[in-house]
């Protein structure tokens, strides 16, 4: 089908097909009950994420359906309805619960700072330096990564110390390289578009903004829209250099488990590995995803344990354009 048709169908199914199916399964006791502390309770439960996936030909797309509960996978009525409305032009995958990448894996101290290395707010384990970007207003260099890497899921204040390496990678306060400057709050209620933050480099801290070891030289930010099937790569503190392809774009209602609770994201990018291993793992959060011409195109922030053509999981990322706009920054290399 054409891209515009897939977009319209996505909205139709989200409003007319998914809600009654979920209500019916819930009424029949088909969902397991999970107990949360009251302060973590939100209205976002992992259900169905809808987006756009590659079609059979270059200019063709399919409806991407990502099931986050086994009960939905076993619901023949739901999938039959979706397939009927989409005339079977669907890419259905069970991905399970999607969790933020925050598992601690060892990485070393880097001076000058290197994109792809361990970093983090002094109260978290470790994530990844996605980019050394430039503030539009001041021209100063800043570290770009996720809110949950640099701003501790909103639980931080401007000026907080950012360590390289991250605390789990033996980073101490003497390893502070930047101060938290700006972040976009994660909202447990309502749709989120990005998980992003920046930290201004401290005086005397050098950084290499262009070298992405194992991939090449950063060529700035991608201007053209992302498309399903596009080849991408990244370097992160846990899995290093990996290669993949975009398996869906404009994915709405992707629900991620945070310490804050279940948080829903719209307009996200989904990536599957093209190798034998996963495209990302815990600790790769904040990695900059590069297109085939080494232009930054998305900011990695989460991943699933299963899914993808090799069964090793799927990676989720914010489109880079909205990240740069909201944080008022630019990549080097443009």
Average pLDDT, the chain: 89
d(CA 35, CA 275): 37
d(CA 17, CA 24): 11
pLDDT in tens, 228-245: 999 999 999 889 999 999
The reply to whether 82 and 103 lie within a common domain is no
The reply to whether 181 and 220 lie within a common domain is yes
Read off the CATH number of the domain in which 206 is found. 2.40.10.10
Residue with tokens 């938290």: 180
The reply to whether 182 and 84 lie within a common domain is no
Instruction: Extract the tokens encoding 58.
Output: 């270059």
Domain interval for residue 266: 97-334
- β-pairing, 161-163 with 176-183? antiparallel
- For the chain, helix (H) and strand (E) counts, in that order, are 6, 25
Residue that is last in its domain, among 61, 79, 94: 94
The reply to whether 227 and 133 lie within a common domain is yes
The answer on pLDDT for 105 being more than 50 is no
> Are the beta carbons of 101 and 282 closer than 8 angstroms?
yes
The reply to whether 69 and 103 lie within a common domain is no
Residue that is last in its domain, among 36, 60, 94: 94
Give 201's pLDDT tier (boundaries 50, 70, 90).
Answer: very high
The reply to whether 206 and 320 lie within a common domain is yes
Mean pLDDT value of segment 238-253? 95
The reply to whether 214 and 326 lie within a common domain is yes
The reply to whether 51 and 104 lie within a common domain is no
d(CA 37, CA 189): 16
The reply to whether 228 and 152 lie within a common domain is yes
Domains held by the chain: number? 2
Radius of gyration of the chain (CA): 20
Mean pLDDT value of segment 232-259? 95
Give the burial class of 187: count Cβ atoms within 10 A of its Cβ; 0-12 exposed, 13-18 middle, 19 or more buried.
Answer: middle
Residue that is last in its domain, among 37, 59, 94: 94
The reply to whether 166 and 271 lie within a common domain is yes
The reply to whether 138 and 244 lie within a common domain is yes
The answer on pLDDT for 275 being more than 60 is yes
pLDDT in tens, 10-50: 999 999 988 888 777 666 665 554 444 444 444 556 688 99
The reply to whether 112 and 234 lie within a common domain is yes
């Amino acid at each position: 089908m054409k891209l515009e048709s897939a977009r319209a169908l996505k909205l139709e199914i989200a409003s007319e097909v998914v809600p009654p199916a979920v209500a019916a399964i819930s009424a029949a006791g088909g969902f397991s009950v999970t107990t949360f502390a009251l302060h973590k309770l939100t209205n976002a439960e992992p259900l169905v994420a809808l987006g756009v996936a590659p079609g059979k030909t270059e200019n063709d797309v399919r409806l991407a359906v990502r099931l986050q509960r086994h009960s939905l996978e076993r619901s023949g009525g739901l999938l039959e309805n979706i397939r009927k409305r989409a005339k079977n032009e669907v890419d259905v995958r069970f991905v399970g619960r999607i969790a933020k990448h925050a598992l601690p894996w060892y990485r070393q101290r880097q001076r000058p700072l290197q994109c792809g290395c361990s970093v983090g707010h002094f109260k978290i384990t470790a994530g990844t330096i996605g980019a050394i970007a430039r503030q539009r207003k001041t021209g100063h260099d800043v570290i770009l990564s996720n809110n949950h890497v640099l701003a501790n899921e909103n639980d931080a204040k401007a000026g907080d110390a950012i360590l390289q390496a991250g605390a789990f990678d033996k980073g101490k306060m003497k390893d502070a390289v930047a101060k938290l400057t700006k972040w976009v709050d994660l909202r447990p209620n309502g749709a989120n578009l990005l998980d992003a933050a920046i930290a201004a480099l401290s005086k005397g801290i050098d950084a290499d903004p262009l070298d992405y070891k194992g991939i090449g030289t950063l060529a700035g930010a991608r201007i053209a829209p992302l498309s399903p099937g596009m080849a991408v790569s990244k370097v992160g503190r846990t899995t290093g250099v990996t290669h993949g392809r975009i398996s869906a774009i404009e994915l709405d209602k992707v629900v991620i488990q945070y310490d804050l609770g279940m948080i829903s994201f719209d307009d996200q990018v989904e990536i599957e590995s093209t190798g034998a291993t996963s495209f990302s793992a815990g600790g790769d959060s904040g990695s900059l995803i590069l297109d085939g011409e080494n232009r930054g195109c998305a900011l990695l922030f989460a991943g699933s344990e299963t899914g993808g053509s090799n069964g090793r999981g799927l990676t989720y990322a914010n489109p880079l354009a909205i990240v740069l706009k909201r944080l008022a920054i630019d990549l080097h290399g443009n």
